[in-house]
Amino acid sequence: MTPPVVIPPWGPTIGGPRAKRLTLTVSRPGGMRTVRLGCTPVYGTHPRAVEACALLSRARGNPASVRLPWTGCLQQYDPIAVSATGVWNGRPVQYQRTFSNPCELRAATGVIFSF
């Protein structure tokens, strides 16, 4: 008798244990946007999917581990909250952070949340 198949809360994983699939959200006062990003192969609704997948691949699917050249940003307060949930190489991804402004977001995560 085979054990039942358990589907994780983020849904079935395309590509099996090597799946790379995220739901990305950007929230700011006045609105919220969400896109889907798959990286094996590259697919989804992210407008810069190839670039975002390249950054995430180097960071092993963790937006907090993205390393970019230093960028100076003005000290303005225009908060922007982001989240990434899904699966990367079969491991769950849960990332949430609020940045002081869009420049700080881009300096930390590149094009991952550029939509």
Q: Domain spans of the chain?
A: 20-70+78-109
CATH no. of 20-70+78-109: 3.30.350.10
The residue with tokens 């691949």 is: 57
Report pLDDT digits (tens) over 15-61. Answer: 566 789 999 999 998 899 999 999 989 999 999 999 999 999 999 99
Radius of gyration of the chain (CA): 15
Q: pTM (2 decimals)?
A: 0.82
pLDDT at 107 over 60: yes
Q: Is the dihedral of CA 29, 25, 32, 9 positive or negative?
A: negative
